[in-house]
Amino acid sequence: MLRSAQGALLQILLVCLGLVVTWQKDIRHNREWYGNFYQQGDLLMVRIDEPLIAKPKSFKANGVVEAVIHNHTILPCKGKILVYFSRNNNGDSTRHSLQYGDKVLIHKNIQRINNSGNPGAFNYPRYAAFQQVFHQVFLKEKDWKKTHYSARNAFYTFLFKARDEILQVLRKSIGGKDELGIAEALLIGYTLDLDKDLVQAYSNTGVVHIIAISGMHLALIYFLLVQVFKKIPILNRSGLLQVVLILTCLWIFALLTGASASVLRAAVMFSFITIGANFKKRSSIYNSLAAAAFLMLCYNPYFLWDVGFQLSYLAVISIIVFQQPVYNWWYIKNKWAEKIWKLAAVSLSAQILTFPVCIYYFHQFPNFFLFTNIIAIPLSGIILYTEIGLIGFSWIPIAHTLGGKLVAWLISLMNQTVLWVNKLPFSVSDGIPSTVLSTCLLYGVVIGVGAWLMSKSRSMLYWALTCLLAFVLTGAYENWQIENQQRIVVYNIQQHQAIDIIYGTHFHFIGDSVLLQDAGVQNFILRPARIASQLNKHDRKLKNFFQQSLFYQFNNTRFLLIDRPTSFEIPKQKIAVDLIIISKNPAVSIAQLANVFDCRQFIFDASNSLWKIEKWQKDCEELHLRSYSVPVKGAFVWDIKK
C-alpha cells in the first residue's frame, strides 16, 4: 500500500516537473523576450546564428535578437527570429558578405509566423513555436545594414567549417546530381541538394529513414568507433580514454548533422551504454531508453511533439519487443539466408509500432518496404563507411578519385533499386486518411494482438477486438460524413488561384493549370487537403455544378468568380449571390459590385496583391460588407447545407 502511494506521488511530481519545465522553456514567459518590448517601427539588432541557406528567391537564416532600439533607447533582449534576405542581382554578394555571428541592424516591421489555413496542411507556426520562433522578417537591401560587430562561438564555428569542408570534398569527388544529394544527406544530413521526386521515391518504398540522419547512422558510427579503437594498442589499454574519444566523436557527429531529436536520442543512449560498459555495468535497455527520454525532455519538453523523436522511440521499442518473436517464426539453417531473415525480422518488427504514426503523418504505407530495406540498409551502411573513408583520405589524390567514383556507383545502385521498386504496381498504398482517434484505436489493436500472441492472454485478445470494432465503426461514420460533404475551398497559395468544388469524394478544380504540374504544390498543399477530405476523383462534370461565364452555381450556392477586368450594368433589382471571389488583381470597384450584387461575403484570394486586398477590405468596411482575406486569414472553406 505504501509503495503504491509512493509511486503515485512520484508520478504526480514528475507531471508537475514536466509542466514547470515546459512553461519555463517557452521564451514568451521570459521577461527579456523581445516580444515584450518590440513595437511597430522599432529597430532590431539581430545576430546571424548560422550560415545563410540559399532559397529560390532569398537567403534564409536563423537570427537571435539581441536588442530592440526604441526612440534611440537600446533595450537588451533575447529570442529567435527567422530572417529572409532578398535575392536580387547582388544576391550572391549578400551571401558572401554575411557570415555566422555577424550582427545586422533591421529597420523593417517583423511579422508573426502564420498558418496557411489550407485543410490538412502542415502546421508550420506550431512547429516554429516549438523551436521558440514566433516571428519572421523579409528584407530587401534597403531594410538592413551590417554592423561592425560580430559574436562567434568557437565550437560552432568549427562545426560549420567542418560541415562546409565535407561538402566541398563530396562536391569535388561525386559528379552526379542525384548521387551527390544522397551522399550529402546520408553523411551529414544536408538535404538542400536532394531531388524532390527522388525523396518521394524513397518515401514510397519505405527507406526514407536512410537519407534522414537517425539512430541507425549513429549506431553505424558507434560500431565503427568501437572496432577501430579496440585495434589501437594505446587506446585499448585505457578504458577511460576510449570512453572519452567515443563520446566526443559521437557528439561531434550528432551536432554536425544538425542534432535532430532522433540523433540526440541515439547519442544519449550510446553515451549510457559506453559509460556503463567502461564500469562493467549492463543496464536494462528499457532503463536506458527511459533515461534518455527523461534527459531530452528535461532539456526540451517540446521534443515530445517532434515526429523524429516519436518515430525513433517507437522504432527502438518495437524492435526490442518484437524482433525476437518475429525472428523465431522461421528457423533457417543456411548462414547467409539466416542473416537476411534476421535483417528482415528487424525491419518487420520496427514497422509494428511505427506504421500507425506514419499513416497519421504521411497518409501512406510502403507495401514493398521489406524488400527495399533488405537491400538498402546494408548498402547504405557500406556507402556511409565509404564516405567516411573518402573524407578521411581525401588528401590522397588517387583515394579521392577512386573513393568518389565508388561512392557515386554505390549510391547510383541504391537509387536505381529504389526507383525500380517505386515503379512497381501497388508499391505504395497512398491517400490513407487518419485522425488522432483512429490512430489511437489502431494502436489498441496492434498492442492487443501483439500481447495476445506473446502471452496468450484472452483479455488482450478481447481488448484488441473491442478496439478493432471501434475502429471500424469510427471509419464507417467518417465515411458517411465524407459521402455527404459539399463545400467550396479557396486555397491559400501565394500568387495563384486555386479552388476546389467538393461533392462527396469527387472534386472539380478551378485555378491555374501550372499548379497541376507543380510537384511541390501538389505534394504539400493540394494532396494533403484532398486526403483530409478523402477526395479520390477529379470530376470535370460534377453533380449539381453549373457554370456560365463568371457565374457559378453548386447546389443551392451561387458565387461569382472575378479574375479579369469586368463591367456590369446596374439592374433594377440586385442580383443575389452567396459569394464573390476576386482573383488575379482585376480592376474592379467594390462600390460598383455592391450596386449590382446583393452578396453575403467577398473573398480575396492569395493571387491578389496585399495592398489591393487592404484597399478592397477598407471599401467593404465602409459599405458594411463582409469580407475575407485568404493571405491573412488562411484558406476559405464554405460548407453547403442541404
- Predicted TM-score (pTM) of the model is 0.84
> Is a pLDDT exceeding 60 seen at residue 405?
yes
- Strand (E) or helix (H) holding 163: helix 154-173
Grid coordinates in use for 6?
509512493
Q: How many CB atoms lie within 10 A of CB 283?
A: 11
DSSP-derived secondary structure letter, 564 = S
| Residue type at position 37 | F
DSSP-derived secondary structure letter, 515 = G
pLDDT tens for 422-468 read: 999 988 888 888 889 999 999 999 999 988 988 888 899 999 999 99
Contacts with 89 (C-beta within 8 Å, 6 or more apart), sequence order: none
Give dist(CA 186, CA 213) in Å, integer. 7
> Is a pLDDT exceeding 80 seen at residue 282?
no
Whether 312 contacts 261, CB under 8 Å: yes
DSSP-assigned states of every residue in 286-353: HHHHHHHHHHHHHH-GGGGG-HHHHHHHHHHHHHHHHHHHHHTT----SHHHHHHHHHHHHHHHHHHH
Q: How many CB atoms lie within 10 A of CB 113?
A: 17
DSSP-derived secondary structure letter, 541 = S
Contacts with 561 (C-beta within 8 Å, 6 or more apart), sequence order: 499, 510, 550, 552, 581, 583
pLDDT at 8 (0 to 100): 67
> Is a pLDDT exceeding 80 seen at residue 1?
no
> Is a pLDDT exceeding 60 seen at residue 529?
yes
Give dist(CA 384, CA 82) in Å, integer. 33
pLDDT at 229 (0 to 100): 78
pLDDT at 520 (0 to 100): 73
Residue 642 confidence class, pLDDT cut points 50, 70, 90: low
> Is a pLDDT exceeding 80 seen at residue 167?
yes
pLDDT at 89 (0 to 100): 58
Virtual torsion, Cα 272, 277, 278, 280, nearest 10 deg: 120
Burial class (CB in 10 A: 0-12, 13-18, 19+), 246: buried
Give dist(CA 540, CA 506) in Å, integer. 9
pLDDT tens for 622-635 read: 999 999 999 989 89
DSSP-derived secondary structure letter, 166 = H
Q: Is 208 helix (H, G, I), strand (E, B) or coil?
A: helix
5 vs 365: which has the higher pLDDT: 365
Burial class (CB in 10 A: 0-12, 13-18, 19+), 170: buried
pLDDT at 57 (0 to 100): 80
Grid coordinates in use for 342?
534476421
> Edge-to-edge, what's the strand order for the sheet holding 506-511?
537-538, 506-511, 498-503, 486-490, 636-639
Segment 136-140 mean pLDDT: 90
Grid coordinates in use for 178?
542525384
Q: Which of 137-151, 222-236, 394-408, 555-569 is least confident?
A: 222-236
pLDDT tens for 37-86 read: 888 888 999 999 988 888 878 889 899 999 999 888 889 999 999 999 98
> Is a pLDDT exceeding 80 seen at residue 382?
yes
Percentage of the residues of the chain whose pLDDT score is greater than 90: 24
| Residue type at position 608 | N
Q: Which among 150, 163, 158, 211 has a CA at the least distance from the CA of 185?
A: 211
Angle, vertex CA 409, rays to CA 408 and CA 412, nearest 5: 85
pLDDT at 566 (0 to 100): 83
Helices (H), 366-430: 369-392, 397-423
| Residue type at position 496 | H
| Residue type at position 520 | G
pLDDT at 279 (0 to 100): 67
Burial class (CB in 10 A: 0-12, 13-18, 19+), 224: middle
pLDDT at 267 (0 to 100): 82
> Is a pLDDT exceeding 70 seen at residue 94?
no
Whether 418 contacts 201, CB under 8 Å: yes
Q: Which of 91-100, 129-138, 560-569 is least confident?
A: 91-100
Whether 137 contacts 81, CB under 8 Å: yes
Burial class (CB in 10 A: 0-12, 13-18, 19+), 269: buried
> Is a pLDDT exceeding 70 seen at residue 155?
yes
pLDDT at 236 (0 to 100): 66
Q: How many CB atoms lie within 10 A of CB 66?
A: 18
Segment 554-580 mean pLDDT: 88
Grid coordinates in use for 519?
510537384
Sign (positive or negative) of CA dihedral 477, 483, 487, 491:
positive
Q: Which among 603, 609, 591, 481 has a CA at the least distance from the CA of 534?
A: 481
pLDDT at 65 (0 to 100): 92
Q: Which among 602, 15, 39 has a CA at the least distance from the CA of 294?
A: 15
pLDDT at 280 (0 to 100): 66
Give dist(CA 16, CA 5) in Å, integer. 17
Whether 185 contacts 211, CB under 8 Å: yes
pLDDT tens for 507-517 read: 999 988 888 88
Segment 330-343 mean pLDDT: 83
pLDDT tens for 462-501 read: 999 999 999 999 989 998 988 889 999 999 998 899 999 9
pLDDT at 523 (0 to 100): 77
> Is a pLDDT exceeding 80 seen at residue 281?
no
pLDDT at 191 (0 to 100): 83
Which neighbouring-strand residues pair with 60?
A: 53, 84
Q: Which of 175-179, 422-426, 599-603 is least confident?
A: 175-179
Q: Which of 377-391, 521-535, 553-567 is least confident?
A: 521-535
pLDDT at 469 (0 to 100): 95
Mean pLDDT of the chain: 86
Segment 354-367 mean pLDDT: 90
108 vs 9: which has the higher pLDDT: 108
pLDDT at 135 (0 to 100): 92
Question: Whole-angstrom distance between the N-terminal and C-terminal Cα of the chain?
Answer: 59
pLDDT at 607 (0 to 100): 92
Grid coordinates in use for 639?
460548407
pLDDT at 414 (0 to 100): 92
Segment 345-373 mean pLDDT: 89
Give dist(CA 437, CA 347) in Å, integer. 26
Whole-angstrom CA distances from 596 to 551, 576, 582, 603, 619 are: 14, 9, 15, 17, 15
pLDDT tens for 200-242 read: 888 888 888 888 877 778 888 888 888 887 777 776 666 677 7
Give dist(CA 76, CA 368) in Å, integer. 56
Give dist(CA 349, CA 327) in Å, integer. 9
Give dist(CA 99, CA 152) in Å, integer. 10
Residue 7 confidence class, pLDDT cut points 50, 70, 90: low
| Axis-axis angle for helices 369-392, 177-188 (nearest 10) | 80
> Is a pLDDT exceeding 60 seen at residue 90?
no
| Axis-axis angle for helices 215-230, 307-327 (nearest 10) | 70
> Is a pLDDT exceeding 80 seen at residue 3?
no
Q: Is 75 helix (H, G, I), strand (E, B) or coil?
A: strand
Percentage of the residues of the chain whose pLDDT score is greater than 70: 95
Residue 96 confidence class, pLDDT cut points 50, 70, 90: low
> Is a pLDDT exceeding 60 seen at residue 91?
no
Query: Which residue has 537564416 as its cell numbers?
Result: 61
> Is a pLDDT exceeding 80 seen at residue 345?
yes
Give dist(CA 455, CA 321) in Å, integer. 12
Segment 369-376 mean pLDDT: 89
Grid coordinates in use for 504?
462527396
Segment 141-162 mean pLDDT: 88
Whether 350 contacts 318, CB under 8 Å: yes
Whole-angstrom CA distances from 639 to 120, 454, 501, 556, 642 are: 16, 48, 10, 11, 10
Whole-angstrom CA distances from 35 to 32, 79, 131 are: 8, 8, 16
> Is a pLDDT exceeding 90 seen at residue 150?
no
Grid coordinates in use for 529?
487537403
